[in-house]
Chains A and B, each alone.
Chain A
């Protein structure tokens, strides 16, 4: 009995210390993110998504703490619904989640620590988030976010110029497209032929959106009027 109690205590303490490490790692990442009060950045958005044909689009992205976010583009730009700034906003809420260290992985040549973030609230949009973190620079290099409405979104981050703020220069989103369906009545096309119906793209389960971010203007102030939709 004593042995079992001792073993359980050992396991619990081990788990607690890991959780504490994980919290510290994440706290450093969040501190870096919170150092950015606002930014604007030029974005080149390239979407390769089954059932959607779109050419690359240039846009300007504006962000302001806590959660003001707007994409301004001359044309139509497609972005993933989850995983852009909402993840950062969620991580900034201490107590809204618990973190567990779940191992290590080498991405490129960088050793990363895998953190699993589990929301504590029952009604949270996020179900689970896995973050691969470069602990030396306190940067998220890869994330996998599972949400109730959007399924799973994988994000790969590349950093060049704004490492000190944790702002990436390139983001590659891999989104779930299993739920995509076309309304048949609208899609009815008299030129609809068998070769179109056999289009293999329809069977693809994921799509990618690559966003290249350049010309960051960090903490230079962004007017609130930017976030108001023009009607």
Chain B
């Protein structure tokens, strides 16, 4: 029953035009970045390497598909949450707004299963978005720019990774990026359980992301204790797969915190939806 309901929920997502808006916007954004890099990628690279290039010369194909994919991921991981929340933030509250929530609750399925099926459908949509991002960022960028070693600028310097040592890193980083986006999806579904209109949970999700990001970037000691527990602190942990050596314990810590957020938010949504007095 859960699977059938999940299928129904996914069909509902597919039926909404805004679901394609996210994929379309993502495609357009990546096309713009690819065009910009093709037109003037060299100056973008020199911004990073200029201080080294007075003494050293970098030989080889630096501006390759692997680097472009990294740049795309870095640029878009901040904006994709909006595209996710746009669809998932409306999954429960949208039913209330349209007046279909009572009919949904009268189905021979528990309210917990309804929330779970919406969560799974939202996760599938997020996965599709992440795969599409990966396809455009990696496959298309490699097709246009070719392949080569990846030069990454981290806080402790430049890391140059061998071409044959990159794909597995991308695979794992996309998994962590998916987990980050899944947290956004779960947060918006959770907020959706509290609202009766579509726009509220979407805006609230973005407001929370902005608030947490600002807290995370403020170098004030009063926030030091809460920063490690904010999900926004761990949304960039995909980047850690491009460090050498890989900080495995830090990545694991991020994964655990993101998973904990997902579980807690789903539980809150289930409790709220179970207690909800459905009158519409």
Contacts and interface: CB of A to CB of B under 8 A. Distances in A.
A175 B59 contact: no
Interface in A180-231: 180-183, 186-192, 196-197, 199, 201-202
A53 B157 contact: yes
Interface string A68-79: 000111111111
B236 interface: yes
B156 A199 contact: yes
B270 interface: no
Contact of A76 (B151, B153, B154, B236): B151
Contacts of A48: none
Contacts of A201: 156-157
Interface stretch (B49-57, B84-92, B100-108, B109-117): B49-57
Contact of B148 (A76, A191, A199): A76
A180 B55 CA distance: 9
Interface string B205-242: 00000000000100000000000000001111101100
Interface of B: 47-48, 51-62, 148-149, 151, 153-160, 162-163, 216, 233-237, 239-240, 244, 247, 250
A149 B162 contact: no
A50 B236 CA distance: 25
A175 B160 contact: no
A191 B239 contact: yes
Contact of B51 (A54, A59, A179): A179
B62 A76 contact: yes
Given A51-B158, A199-B156, A191 B240 contact: yes
Nearest to B67: A76
Given A182-B153, A183-B47, A190-B234, 8 more contacts: A51-B52, A76-B59, A76-B61, A78-B56, A79-B59, A180-B55, A182-B51, A187-B155
Contact of A150 (B55, B148, B236): B55
A49 interface: yes
Contacts of A180: 51-52, 55
B258 to A, nearest CB: 13
A77 B56 contact: no
Q: Which of A49, A50, A190, A201 has the most CB of B within 10 A?
A: A190
Interface in A132-176: 149-151, 153, 175-176
A77 B216 CA distance: 37
A151 B240 CA distance: 34
A154 B158 CA distance: 23
A144 to B, nearest CB: 15
B53 A81 contact: yes
